[in-house]
Each structure stands twice: as C-alpha cells, then as structure tokens.
Structure 1
Amino acid sequence: MYGVMREEKSKNVWYLIVAQAFFLSSSMTNVSFAGLAGKMLAADPKLATVPLSLVIVSTALTTGPFSMLMQHKSRRFGFMLGSMLGILSAAVCAYAVRIGSFDLFCVGTFLMGPYFASAQYYRFAASESVPKTHAARAISLVLLGGLIAALMVPTANAWFNEHFMPYTFMGVYIFVGIMAALSIVPILLMAPIGSPAHYTPEDASGEEGQKKGRPLSEIVKDRTFLVAVTNGIAGYAMMTFVMTATPLAMEACGFGSLTSSHVIQGHVIAMFLPSLFTGQLIARFGVMKILLVGQACFALAFITALSGIEVQQFSIALVLLGVGWNFCFVGGSHLLTTVHTEAEKGRVQGLNEFIVFAVSAAGSLASGFILNEFGWTVVNQVTFAILAVAAAVTVIHVLKTRNTVESL
C-alpha cells in the first residue's frame, strides 16, 4: 500500500494491526457487557456500572507504569505482559459469572485495565518501526484494527454467549480471553523495536542519542506538546461523553436497543474507517489542518445532534463524531511523536495516556448524570465548550508558528 511497507522492519505495522484487532475485540466486548453483567450480579442495580468504571480507572492508573516499563525493557515485553493479564482478567470474569460473584467480577474487570493500558502503545510502536516521515501513516494504519473488530465482534459475541448458556455472559468473557491470547501471536512475530536496525545513524548519534531528556516540567510548556495533548484529551472526552449518552438518549426518545446498537456500530466504523487515508492526508496537507478538520467534524456532529431527535440525526451525528475523533486522535498522536526524544518518550507518552484516560473516565461517568439531570441538549452544549478550548489552543499555535516563520 505504501512504499515504506516494502522495508522489512515495517512488517511490525501489519502485526500491530492484527494485535489491535484482537485487543479492540476484547475492549468492545467488555464495554458492551460489563455493565449488563454487573447489573445481573450486583445486589443493588446502582452498582451495575462499577465494573466498567474499574476498567477505566485501572487503565488510567497503569498507562504511565507501562510506558516506563517499555522504555526500560522493550515494547514487546510490555505488550506480552499486558496480553497475559488480559487472559487472566477474562478467566476471572468468566469464573465470577459462573459462580455469581459480583466482588470477584470487579476484581476481574480491574485486572483488564493493564491490558487496555499496554495496547494504547501499539500506535506508538508502529510509528517507531518506520522512518519518521511515515509515522502518521503507521499510526493511522494500526487503527484499522478497530474496523476489523467492529465487523467481527457482534456475531462472535452472540455465538459465544449462546453456546455457554445457561451461564449468561460467561461465553463473552471466554471470547475476551481468546482474543487476548491470540494477540500474543503477532506480538511474538514483531521485530524488536529499539534495536540498532531500527535507527538511522543520525538517530544513534548526536543530541538525540546523547541527551538524557528534558524534565517533564519543561516539556509540558512546549506549545506543540500542548496542542497534541489538548486534541487527544478533547477528542476522547467529546467522543466518550456523547457516545456514552447516546443509547440512553435514544431509549428516552422511544427507540429500541437494536436501533441504538446500529447507530453505535455506525459510529465505531466511522472511528476507524478513515484510517485508510488519515495518514496520507496528514502527509499531504499537514497535521494542523487535519486537526482543524477533525474539530470541524465535531462541531457539525453537535449541531446535527441539536437539530432533532430522529434516528437520522442520531446516526449522522455519531458518524461525524467518529470521523472527528479519528482525525484528532491520529493527528494528536503523530504530533506527540515529534515532541519527545527517544530518552523522553516513556515519560511523555505515559503522561499523555494518563491524562487522556483520566479525562475520558470523568467524561464517561459525567455524561449519564448530565443526561439524566439536564437532557440531551445540555450534553451537546457541554461538548461545544470542550471543543472551543481545543480549537483555541490549536488556532493560537498555528498563528504563532506562522508569525514566527514570517519573521525569519
């Protein structure tokens, strides 16, 4: 597909696409069924969302440690450890469902977080496996694994759930475990990342090879870092905020679960399908323009959502939401790789992932409350405020960069 893929080391990108597909199959399944299983097992229905919240909290807590672990060990070591914890988590969850233990189920979902955390670095591993000029394309391609998962998961979930009856939801967690186990295969096939074969002589010498790295207090003041992190945070927060509230809003409008599931599936496909060309767009037009287009997609999504409560409005809004997320997430991830040196990547990437997931967790928990208390309109108005901050940070950076260049 791309000329760079002819290079032997770039095979890692294809292996990571497969690993991403297996990971997101586990992730989508857990997001779909953790709340339902929690409701079935909990003595109080109010505790139903605790298992899913534990996954998000655990992911946020372990993103930083996993980044540093990969910095000191290797990407492969971190990915393998994450996958093995995913297998353990799925086994605990399946057994908890089998014996009807809510407490044990919560332990199992908490153990899922490290697997989710480790997989967040697949895209960075892909960018490190190719020349820097192709980093955006590599990041974009890895996200295609989500498209494979979106098409496979609904049928697989139905089959596994049915074949492990009468233990409802036991089968879907067995499926999660199988997906986590299969993710080990492409990881084992990967060429080591960080070996001399993966760096040019320029990378191995000079400032990048000699510096120990700047302190985080200095890096976070970098405007480019702020743009990358702000777009990553805003993109994930807005997407999670609206996506979480959509099924509840559609139910309140009288639509059935099948209708809302189709809307969500369309959203998930829209999140990952643009990955076929997002990297090429960044290479051709520049990352800042793609970030701004992503923000425009978010704005159109919220305007559409506010225009009515028919299925068409929900569907179009969620598709635009998915495309906006893809552009902001891929663009922000690529921009982040330009900020740090090899010595700094563990701390910088770990901080970025922690902030993104912490804010995403807060958004997920807040969306249900805001929807119930204030309604669907306010949900979208809140996201407009988040979008305004991201747009302001991006535009200011573009203008200051342009002024600096013109003054030279």
Structure 2
Amino acid sequence: MTQYRNVILLALAQACFLATSMTMVTFAGLAGIAAAPDPKYATLPVTLSIVSTALTTAPMSIIMQRTSRRFGFRLGAAIGVLSALMMTYAVYSGSFILLCVGALMVGPFQSSAQYYRFAAAESVPADKSSRAISFVLIGGLVASFFVPTLWRFFGDLFEGVDYMGAFVFAAVVVACVFIPVAFLRPLEEAFDVGSDNAKEEDARPMGAIVRQPGFIVAVVNAALGYAMMSFVMTATPLAMEICRIGEASPEVIQQHVIAMFLPSLFTGFLIQRFGLFSILLVGHMAFAVAFMTALSGIEVMHFSVALIALGLGWNFCFVGGTTLLTRVHTQAEKGRVQGLNEFLVFSTTGVASFAAGLILNLYGWQTVNQAAFVMLVIASAITLVWGMAGQLRARRGRL
C-alpha cells in the first residue's frame, strides 16, 4: 500500500504541475503583449521558462541524488511559488522585466516535476513501473478538465487586472505540491542514479554514440516534435486574441493538453504492435493535419482541431523518439545520452517558442504554420530515410 500511495500522491503533484504549465502557456504570452515594449517580444516569458527548465533539469537531478527526491520536489515547488508571485506582481505593476524574471524562475519547478514519473517508478516493483508512470501522467490529464473553470474563478476574483487571477491561481496550485510531497515514503533518502552493472569505462565515446542513425532519428523526432508543438501552441493564444476570439483560447489549450497526454495510455502498445517507424509516421501525419487545418481558416473550430491534431502528433513523435533513444545507449551511457537529448529538446523548443512571437507579429498566423511545415518536412525526410534503410537491411537479412 505504501508503494501505491506514493503513485497516487505523485499523480496529485503532477496535476498541480500540469495546471501551472497550462497557465504559463496560455497567459504568459498574453501578459507579455500587455507589458512588452514591443509585441514581437510577447512570447519571451514562455521562452525563458522553457530555457530555464532545460538548464536546471540536470542540476535538479544532481540535487536529488545528493539529498532526496522529496527535498528536490520541495525545493522546486518553493521556487515555483516565488516565481508565480513575482509574475502576479509583474502583471499588477505592468513590468515586463519582472514578468520575464518570474518566468525564468519557474524553470526549477518544472524541471523538478519531470522526475515525478521516475519517483513513481522507483516506488513500485520493476514490472509495475510502466503502469505507475502512466497513472502519474493521467493524474495531470484529469486535472486539465478543471483548470479552465478555475482560471475563470480566479479571473473573476481579480477582474480589475487582466490575467492577474491566472498567476494567483498558479501560485496557489504550486503551493499545493507541498501537501502530497509531505506524505511520500520512503523518498526522503538520497537515491543512486547509477547501476551496479554499468561501469563508466564500458561507455563509448559520445562521438560514436551521436553518429548512430538511430540516435539522430530519435533526437530529431523528439526535438523537432516538441519544437513544432511549442511553436504553434505558443502562438495560438496570441493569434486567437488578434482574431478577436481570445476568450475561447483556454478551452482550445485544454483540448490540446488532453490530446497530448491521453494517447500515452496506448502509445506504448501501438509501438509494440506496429513498430516505431509506423508510429513516427502517424505522428508526422497528425502534424500535417494540424498545420493544414490551421492554414484553412481562423474560426474557433480551426484552432481547436489544429491544436488537437498537434497534441496527437507531439505524443507519437515524442514517445516514439524517446523509446528509440533508449535503444541506442547502454546503462553506462544513459546519463550522458539522455542529458544531451534533454538539452537538445528544450533548447530547440526554447528557440521555437521565442520565434513564434516574432514570426506571428511580423508575418502572421499563416507564416507560423508554413514555417512549422518546414520543420515537419525535415523530420519526415530523416525518418523516412532511416525507416526505409532499416526495411532494406531486414529484407537482405531474410535473403
């Protein structure tokens, strides 16, 4: 019961994290428009939060290794509360600089939350770890159904200042992380991220690892999949505001988040059943549907369908790319390889989120989706070459 209690508690913490993440994506850019000296920089707060997450993921892991999971979760939540409060004051005072500093500070909280699923896996027997991870993610998915209602509630409480209620809500929900974390057992002790069977001298040089076609395809799908998703998603609330349908953006983002995480219940099964190559191609097709829908109109329906397809594409490409990554490294190599992958993914995503505001402001919503199509063509071409080469090798092997 102690093992499964941890999973339930971590699912509650994941719900708080997802609620905060949804708030950042939906309202940080809108608050940026109101406070930025130039609308081109409206998405800078979102970009800073992503970059900060990328830069603090490895340090947070080291802190947890030397102290405990619980300490790391508490530290991240404490910084997250300060971040949300600073962004609240920034909105109240109209300070774009404070808004950016607050967004930068949210990174440690978001990076600490990346380890909720790993802590859940560590709390149960090895053969139950995949179920534990899925359950934690579903905790966040369930929360996404209620977040728009809470946004409206807090917005009504602070209706005198646009978007202030959303960041007050973020501060409250981050503070709620302390409740489930307080009851975690036995995650109050330092943990060992290494493996008894993994020796550092057995690891290959990084140059040999990154030259593998499988590594390249894994990183391309994870990084560009995340970048395409962030690029279009970050621009969506701003584009809807320009189109005078901004009041519908919370529901559109909610549908997008559900589409991102709901397929996780069966993506692993689909990969086992149909293979990685097929699932990656399905993800690319979902991205294509998203961009074509966005290019076909600017009604709420177009934004909604595009963002749902965008979420599905992200899930298949990100889960597929992550799965492929685990097949190109050994236990001794996983720390460095996964660290490099995370850095590349979040760095690419940070650039994409910042570019979204610039391109939207300078060239419009159509160009945003056309630029995303270019990224899709690159990812699809690399994946197709890799997949066809693998099928050719398999045929030769049978001969």
TM-score, normalised to structure 2's length? 0.82
Q: 8 Å contact 2:66–2:191 — kept in the other structure?
A: no
Is 1:386 aligned with 2:375? yes
Cα pair 1:266 1:318 within 8 Å, conserved: yes
2:210 to 220, 230, 234: 220
Distance 2:41 2:235 in 1: 18
SS at 1:334 equivalent: helix
Are 2:339 and 1:350 aligned? Answer: yes
Check the 8 A contact 2:65/2:192 in 1, yes or no. Answer: no
Q: Does 1:236 align with 2:226?
A: yes
Change (3 A) 1:388 1:131: farther
The 2-side partners of 1:130 and 1:287 are apart by 27
TM-score norm. by structure 1 comes to 0.81
For residues 361 and 314 of structure 1, what CA distance do their matches in structure 2 show? Answer: 22
Code of the aligned partner of 2:341: N
Contact kept? 1:9, 1:198, Cα under 8 Å: no
Per-residue CA deviations over 1:11-51 (Å, capped at 9, x if unaligned) read 65544332221101112112333334445556666665443
**Count, aligned residues:** 397
- Partner of residue 152, structure 1: 146
User: Residue deviations 1:276-314, cap 9 Å, x none?
Assistant: 322332343333332221112112222333344444333
**Matches of 1:46 and 1:316 in 2, distance apart?**
26
- 1:298 counterpart letter in structure 2: F
Match of 1:111 in 2: 105
Residue pair 2:158, 2:164 contacting (<8 A) in 1 also: yes
- CA-to-partner distance for each residue in 1:339-382, whole Å, 9 max, x for gaps? 44444443333322222122112112222333344443333232
2:371 partner amino acid = V
Give the Cα–Cα distance (whole angstroms) in 2 for the partners of residues 385 and 281 of structure 1: 27
% same residue: 53
Distance 2:117 2:77 in 1: 16
Q: Deviations over 1:128-147 (max 9, x none)?
A: 66677776665554433442
Please state if 1:90 is matched with 2:84: yes
1:261 CA displacement: 3.9
Match of 1:172 among 151, 156, 166: 166
Mapped contact 1:64–1:353 kept (Cα < 8 A): no
Provide the rounded CA distance (Å) in 2 between the counterparts of 1:250 and 1:36. 10
Q: CA, structure 1 residues 59+97, in 2 after alignment: closer, same or farther (shift >3 Å)?
A: same
Letter in 2 for 1:230: V
Measured after TM superposition, the shift of residue 392 of structure 1 is 2.7
Matched, 1:60 2:54: yes
- More displaced, 22-31 or 360-369? 360-369
Q: Does 1:27 align with 2:21?
A: yes
| Residues 93, 173 of structure 1: 8 Å contact kept | yes
2:304 aligned with 1:315: yes
Q: In 2, distance between residues paired with 1:370 and 1:14?
A: 42
Distance (Å, rounded) in 2 between the aligned partners of 1:170 and 1:344: 45
- With over 3 angstroms needed to count, the CA separation of the structure-2 counterparts of 1:84 and 1:11, relative to structure 1, is same
Q: Is contact 2:85–2:171 with CA below 8 Å preserved after alignment?
A: yes
CA contact (8 A) 1:76 1:192 kept: no
C-alpha change, 1:388 and 1:91, in structure 2 (3 Å) is same
Deviation (angstroms), 1:180: 1.9
Q: Compute the RMSD of aligned alpha carbons.
A: 3.7
1:301 match: 290
Matches within 5 A, 1:321-400: 321-400=310-389
* C-alpha separation in 1, matches of 2:191 and 2:87: 41
Separation (CA, whole Å) in 1 of partners of 2:192 and 2:160: 51
Distance 2:281 2:323 in 1: 14
**Change in CA separation of 1:91 and 1:123 when aligned onto 2, cut-off 3 Å:** same
Label 1:37 to 1:250 Cα distance change in 2 as closer, same or farther (>3 A). closer
State the Cα distance separating 1:333 from its structure 2 match.
2.6
Q: Which runs of 5+ in 2 are unaligned?
A: none
Cα distance in 2 between the residues matched to 1:89 and 1:342:
36
Q: CA separation of 1:80/1:340 partners in 2, compared to 1, >3 Å: closer, same or farther?
A: farther
Deviation at 1:323, TM superposition (A): 0.9
The corresponding residue for 1:285 is 274
Question: Alpha carbons of 1:191 and 1:277: their partners in 2 closer, same or farther (altered >3 Å)?
Answer: farther
Residue aligned with 1:143, SS: helix
